[in-house]
A = this chain, B = another copy of it.
Amino acid sequence: MKNFILKGDICYSKTINEICCSENSCLICENGKSAGVYREIPEKYKEYEVYDYSGKLIMPGFIDLHIHAPQFAFRGTGMDLELMEWLSVQAFAEEARYSDEEYACRAYGLFAQMLRKSVTTRACIFATCHVPATKILMDCMEESGIVSYVGKVNMDREAPDTLRESDAYQSADDTVKWLESISGKYKRTFPILTPRFIPSCTDELLSELHKIQEKYDLPVQSHLSENPDEIEWVRKNVPDSKFYGDAYDRYGLFGRGAKTVMAHCVYPVIDEVERMKENEVFVAHCPASNMNLSSGIAPVRKFIDNRIKTGLGTDIAGGHSISMFRAVTDAVQVSKLYYRLVDNTVKPLTFEEVFYLATKGGGEFFGKTGSFEEGYEFDAVVIDDGLYPLLEYMTVRKRAERVVYIDSEATGLEAKFVGGEKVV
């Protein structure tokens, strides 16, 4: 039974407009779920073991809705390229190496180890098209203690020979083999259908994946409306789709029955936003990647106003940092540039809003996660912000903002719990 208590300075979101802060308080874990935050330990929990993190910050685990595990090894290099060139020079070249299982073991082992030491507790992860390597990644993730969706990538066009699957049917067959081989194998690692993006998936492939999605009742992850050149490619080559997202939706790979998260959404047209809302598609906002690859700034305020489900992603290695702290401040920062340079009627995002997106907002993709409200999965990180000395008392709310900004790589991470299990 996972019953215990964390004591410390607690902050978490209930709504998007406020961070609930509770100094020197207790967070109860009852059978792997939060039983709430209290100033004093209630009588019924008096017997629970107490982990004393007094003076330290306790936050919900952060949810990374978009990250490419096989790109981790080259993060922070080759950053002077734009998306389509970067894909071929950096991403595809590296991903081709994952046909080598020995390399996959080393690289994914390191990836999982570094992600374990981050503030991320749940993640949606792209692998490559290689089935053995994808299984290795799932093994590594299972061992990390992090809960994740992991996807074998599908791509049957517009990729180098070393990566392109021979045709839609082989790609679909491999996907089924992968799904069958991992069935029932893991307790915290789950498969997710992962067509790379429309440019690299034929209609036949999307049609096959649709059947697989229905048969196995899988969630879906992909990319959407990231970069003007990419969007233009879709417009020209899939002329009968009304907009980029429609090219997925025609094959049932865009929400509705299939829980779906789409990364980026930098340039969604109005109809696309409407469809995302109708279909309950999640957005994975990846601000660092959108800067690094010269993509632009996603209109996150528009998503929030339209009640589109939105979370954040690091998008390693379009993004260079694995830290969700960094994703939070990047999201606030670029929203200010959007306000200043694109549309000064659109208010910048506040720290409260983005903290919510990075925890409870993205957490919804995993069910009731990302908050300390009663009944939520017990995902928590403990941060020692004493590494950055304070001259005098500061409120928990201010300390939370401060540590997310100045300890951007979360070196102060002292403990991490996922679903009530201590993983760091």
A64 to chain B, nearest CB (A): 16
| Given A80-B348, A295-B340; A75-B321 close (CB under 8 Å) | no
For the complex, would chain A's binding face be called helix, strand, loop or mixed by DSSP majority? helix
A228 to chain B, nearest CB (A): 8
A270 within 8 A of B: no
**Contacting residue for A402 out of B76, B106, B398, CB 8 A:** B76
**Contact assessment for B297 and A77 in the assembled complex, using a CB-CB cutoff below 8 Å:** no
A178 within 8 A of B: no
| Given A80-B350, A320-B406, A321-B408; A337-B75 close (CB under 8 Å) | no
A319 to chain B, nearest CB (A): 10
A291 within 8 A of B: yes
- Other than the known A80-B351, A320-B406, what 14 A-B pairs have Cβ atoms closer than 8 Å? A73-B390, A76-B403, A79-B332, A80-B350, A103-B391, A110-B391, A292-B336, A293-B336, A297-B341, A320-B329, A334-B337, A337-B337, A341-B341, A408-B408
CA distance in complex: A402, B294 (Å): 18
A31 within 8 A of B: no
**Contact assessment for A406 and B75 in the assembled complex, using a CB-CB cutoff below 8 Å:** yes
CA distance in complex: A252, B294 (Å): 40
**Contacting residue for A75 out of B107, B389, B405, B408, CB 8 A:** B405
Sample of 25 A–B contacts (CB below 8 Å): A73-B391, A76-B402, A76-B405, A77-B401, A78-B401, A79-B332, A79-B401, A79-B405, A80-B348, A80-B350, A110-B389, A288-B333, A291-B336, A293-B336, A294-B336, A297-B337, A320-B405, A320-B406, A321-B405, A326-B408, A334-B337, A337-B337, A341-B342, A408-B408, A411-B411
Number of interface residues of A (CB under 8 A): 50
* Binary B-proximity of A321-348 (CB < 8 A = 1, otherwise 0): 1000010010011101101111000001
A18 within 8 A of B: no
Of residues 394 to 416 in A, which have CB atoms within 8 Å of B's CB atoms?
Answer: 394, 398, 401-409, 411
Contacts of A401 in B (CB 8 A): 76-79
| CB closest chain-B residue, reference A332 | B79
A363 within 8 A of B: no
A297, A333, A394, A403 — most chain B CB neighbours (10 Å): A333
Of residues 264 to 311 in A, which have CB atoms within 8 Å of B's CB atoms?
Answer: 288, 291-297
Contacts of A326 in B (CB 8 A): 408
| Given A405-B79, A409-B409; A296-B337 close (CB under 8 Å) | yes
CA distance in complex: A297, B340 (Å): 9
Contacts of A291 in B (CB 8 A): 333-334, 336-337
| CB closest chain-B residue, reference A390 | B73
| Given A79-B351, A106-B391; A333-B295 close (CB under 8 Å) | no
CA distance in complex: A398, B295 (Å): 23
A236 to chain B, nearest CB (A): 20
Contacts of A107 in B (CB 8 A): 391
A77 to chain B, nearest CB (A): 5
A97 to chain B, nearest CB (A): 9
Contacts of A77 in B (CB 8 A): 394, 398, 401-402, 405
